């Protein structure tokens, strides 16, 4: 019996775009059906934004996949209730008819762009294919539409981006491509599943403005799934708070923030990081250098022609010099594509670089194979995209145990005990040892990556957007865990993030990157209380504030294209000079 036959006919008001009634979604297991979503009901009206918030694994994304008809059936399926899109009942709708709706009338921005984009197709081809699947346009017309969408999400060199493959773009750039694909056909309903997770605050600001413009112009209804309560406060008209597949509380955004009724909602809002809350935490005062970047540059060649001559270079990192002190947390902030992750990859030996990088006084370029293997034990990294970082063929236990096996640490029993200890420390039960990555939510997968990085008890951990995929309550716990580990072991963090409230909460010092160069660097207090560089001021001004009463128009929009880091072969970008304005506060002049 189809799910559509399980529920009575629902009369949907004319202004309601989506009506969900008593939705039940279950997963098949050896013990029978396991409920994932239970008794969820709501209406979404034209031009309205409904935010669905809650912990990872609470059923937020499952609800969106049910609305899109993308549940991994038959393992997971709708077992009760109804989903009406206008006058069309979506549950039980044949796939052919669902395909006509999906993408054209209901579009979705997925949480993990690398797994949502086809790695063997160019960005342009994927956009053109999606557009032509729903509209009778020629290839050239569809390409013009695709170019318009890419420009709308403010990707630099939009014509060039259409010719690139997903792996050639940063995480933030890939997310903007996903947004461009979703808005290209101007849908009536847009489901945005963590649409700004991978974006820095300046681009996030523009994406949020873009979504609002789409609503004003077309009356688009939006379901916003996010753990960022600042985004909820700024974007949503109403909020549904979910936990363990059930609705805990629903209210207008103002009412929810002013007077939450349930304890879980109160705890969720209390965990939201706010700029200013980390100002009183004492700063790390050890000045013993653990890592030193000395005039480090990284560039990637762009080859053209039959002979593959270098026509241009992407200057990802340009003449960077900085020290990371033992036991401190140094944060790198800046727009996606500015060179933050490339800095980290150069440190752990994943990209070639010029200049000199030292770890505990040893230059990485001077080490032989044995020395490099030894130093890798001291340097670990938590990547931005957890699904791409985890081998889908290995169990969670095997993935976390793998570093211990590679370095020959402990017996099998000791290794398994260590894995179970780490799982408990990152708020996951040791019972998940034999499960696979696809069986976890995005936030849970990131916690698994953090556990793996901790396995070898390293001296330095690079956290590359390591808490971006986590809901605020788990994020707060993970940040507290990172601080506790630092107190216990003296571990050093290179913390890469676009969330300025998190950066203030965790950092001792902050370095601001723009187009591959450091333009400002100082203590947490210096950067947040008295920013000097215009770009730093712009970053702070774009931060969403978790206050729905704050006027949305207070932050001015950013205009113009992002400058390109691509320079013709032989050309060199202008090199900034950092000037000490007192107390180690360095600013580009």
The parent domain of residue 202 ranges over 103-222
Q: What is the pLDDT of residue 558?
A: 47
What is the CATH classification number for the domain harbouring 530? 3.40.50.300
Report if residue 8 sits inside a domain: no
Report if residue 586 sits inside a domain: yes
* In 431-511, alpha helices (H): 442-454, 472-489, 500-506
Residue 53 has pLDDT above 80, yes or no: yes
Query: Are 191 and 299 within one domain?
Result: no
H or E stretch including 512?
A: strand 509-514
Q: What is the pLDDT of residue 7?
A: 46
Residue 31 has pLDDT above 50, yes or no: yes
Query: Are 212 and 310 within one domain?
Result: no
Report if residue 579 sits inside a domain: yes
How does pLDDT run across 247-293, given as a tens digit for each residue?
999 999 999 999 999 999 998 888 888 887 766 677 777 889 999 99
Average pLDDT over residues 553-569: 58
Q: What is the pLDDT of residue 215?
A: 78
Residue 445 has pLDDT above 90, yes or no: no
Q: Considering the chain, what is the average pLDDT of its residues?
A: 86
Report if residue 348 sits inside a domain: yes
Give the confidence band of 541 by pLDDT, cuts at 50, 70, 90.
confident
Query: Are 112 and 218 within one domain?
Result: yes
How does pLDDT run across 105-130, given as a tens digit for each residue?
999 988 777 778 999 999 999 999 99
Instruction: Measure the CA–CA gap between 455 and 582, rounded to whole angstroms.
Output: 40
Q: What is the pLDDT of residue 44?
A: 95
Average pLDDT over residues 85-108: 90
How does pLDDT run across 492-537, given as a tens digit for each residue?
999 998 888 889 989 999 999 988 899 999 999 999 999 999 889 8
* In 331-464, alpha helices (H): 340-347, 369-378, 386-389, 396-406, 412-425, 442-454
Query: Which pTM does this prediction carry?
Result: 0.76
Q: What is the pLDDT of residue 554?
A: 45
Report if residue 525 sits inside a domain: yes
Highest mean pLDDT of the ranges 89-93, 475-479, 562-566: 89-93
Compute and round to an integer the Cα radius of gyration of the chain. 24
How does pLDDT run across 450-461, given as a tens digit for each residue?
899 989 989 999
Q: In what order do the strands lie in the sheet with 189-193?
A: 106-109, 189-193, 221-225, 49-54, 238-243, 246-252
Report if residue 528 sits inside a domain: yes
Query: Are 211 and 112 within one domain?
Result: yes
Give yes or no for a contact between 581 and 587, defined as CB atoms under 8 angstroms apart.
yes
Query: Are 200 and 304 within one domain?
Result: no
Query: Are 516 and 589 within one domain?
Result: yes
The phi and psi torsions of 517 (rounded to 5 degrees) equal -125, 150
Using CB atoms within 10 Å of the CB of residue 73, give its burial: 0 to 12 exposed, 13 to 18 middle, 19+ buried. Answer: exposed
Residue at which a domain ends, from 222, 239, 274:
222
| % pLDDT > 70, the chain | 94
Query: Are 111 and 210 within one domain?
Result: yes
Pairing of the two strands 32-45 and 460-464 = unpaired
Q: Which residue has the higher pLDDT, 73 or 323?
A: 323
Give the confidence band of 305 by pLDDT, cuts at 50, 70, 90.
confident
Q: What is the pLDDT of residue 198?
A: 62
Helix axis angle for 396-406 and 442-454, nearest 10°, is: 20
Q: Cβ–Cβ contacts within 10 Å for residue 368, how many?
A: 8
Q: What is the pLDDT of residue 71?
A: 92
How does pLDDT run across 315-361, given as a tens digit for each residue?
889 999 999 999 999 999 987 778 888 999 999 888 999 999 999 88
Q: What is the pLDDT of residue 304?
A: 80
Residue at which a domain ends, from 187, 203, 222:
222
Instruction: Measure the CA–CA gap between 437 and 387, rounded to whole angstroms.
Output: 7
Report if residue 274 sits inside a domain: no
Q: Which residue has the higher pLDDT, 214 or 167?
A: 167
Residues 6+ apart with CB under 8 A from 300: 313, 314, 316
Q: What is the pLDDT of residue 147?
A: 94
Average pLDDT over residues 546-573: 65
Q: Can you say whether residue 380 is alpha, beta or left, with left for phi > 0 and alpha for psi between -120 and 50 degrees? A: beta
Report if residue 129 sits inside a domain: yes
Q: What is the pLDDT of residue 3?
A: 44
Residue 156 has pLDDT above 70, yes or no: yes
Residue at which a domain ends, from 222, 239, 270:
222
Q: Which residue has the higher pLDDT, 426 or 509?
A: 509
Domain count, the chain: 2
């Amino acid at each position: 019996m189809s799910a559509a036959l399980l529920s009575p006919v629902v009369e949907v008001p004319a202004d309601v775009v989506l009506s969900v009634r008593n939705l039940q979604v279950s997963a098949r297991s050896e013990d029978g059906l396991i409920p994932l979503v239970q008794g969820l009901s709501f209406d979404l009206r034209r031009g309205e934004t409904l935010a669905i918030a809650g912990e990872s694994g609470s059923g937020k994304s499952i609800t969106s996949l049910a609305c899109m008809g993308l549940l991994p059936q038959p393992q997971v399926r709708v077992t009760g209730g109804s989903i009406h899109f206008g006058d069309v009942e979506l549950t039980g709708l044949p796939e052919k008819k669902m395909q006509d709706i999906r993408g054209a009338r209901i579009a979705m921005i997925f949480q993990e762009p690398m797994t949502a984009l086809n790695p063997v197709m160019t960005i342009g081809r994927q956009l053109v294919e999606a557009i032509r699947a729903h509209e009778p346009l020629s290839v050239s017309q569809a390409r013009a539409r695709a170019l318009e969408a890419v420009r709308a999400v403010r990707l630099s060199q939009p014509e060039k981006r259409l010719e690139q493959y997903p792996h050639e773009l940063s995480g933030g750039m890939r997310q903007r491509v996903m947004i461009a694909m979703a808005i290209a056909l101007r849908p009536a309903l847009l489901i945005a599943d963590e649409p700004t997770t991978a974006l820095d605050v300046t681009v996030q600001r523009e994406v949020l403005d873009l979504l609002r413009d789409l609503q004003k112009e077309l009356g688009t209804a939006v379901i916003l799934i996010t753990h960022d309560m600042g985004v909820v406060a700024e974007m949503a008209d109403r909020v549904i708070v979910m936990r363990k597949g059930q609705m805990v509380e629903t209210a207008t955004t103002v009412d929810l923030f002013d007077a939450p009724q349930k304890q879980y909602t109160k705890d969720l809002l209390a965990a939201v990081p706010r700029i200013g809350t980390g100002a009183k935490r004492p700063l790390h005062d050890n000045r013993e250098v653990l890592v030193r970047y000395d005039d480090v540059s990284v560039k990637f060649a762009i080859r053209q022609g039959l002979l593959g001559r270098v026509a241009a270079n992407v200057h990802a990192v340009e003449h960077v010099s900085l020290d990371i002190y033992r036991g401190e947390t140094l944060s790198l902030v800046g727009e996606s594509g500015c060179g933050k992750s490339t800095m980290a990859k150069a440190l752990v030996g994943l990209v070639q670089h010029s200049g000199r990088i030292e770890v505990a006084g040893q230059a990485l370029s001077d080490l032989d194979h044995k020395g490099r293997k030894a130093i890798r034990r001291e340097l670990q990294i938590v990547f931005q995209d957890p699904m791409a970082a985890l081998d889908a063929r290995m169990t969670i236990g095997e993935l976390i145990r793998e570093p211990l096996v590679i370095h020959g640490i402990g017996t099998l029993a000791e290794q398994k005990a260590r894995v179970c200890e780490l799982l408990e420390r990152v708020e996951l039960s040791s019972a998940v040892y034999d499960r696979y990555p696809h069986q976890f939510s995005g936030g849970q997968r990131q916690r698994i990556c953090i556990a793996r990085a901790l396995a070898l008890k390293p001296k330095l951990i690079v956290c590359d957007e390591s808490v971006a995929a986590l809901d605020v309550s788990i994020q707060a716990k993970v940040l507290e865990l990172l601080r506790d580990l630092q107190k216990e072991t003296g571990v050093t963090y290179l913390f890469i993030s676009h969330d300025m409230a998190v950066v203030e909460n965790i950092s001792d010092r902050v370095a601001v990157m723009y187009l591959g160069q450091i333009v400002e660097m100082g203590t947490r207090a210096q950067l947040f209380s008295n920013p000097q560089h215009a770009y730093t001021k712009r970053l702070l001004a774009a931060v969403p504030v978790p206050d729905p009463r704050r006027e949305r128009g207070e932050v001015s929009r950013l205009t113009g294209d992002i400058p390109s880091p691509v320079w013709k072969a032989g050309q060199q970008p202008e090199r900034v000079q950092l000037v000490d304005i007192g107390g180690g506060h360095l600013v580009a002049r």
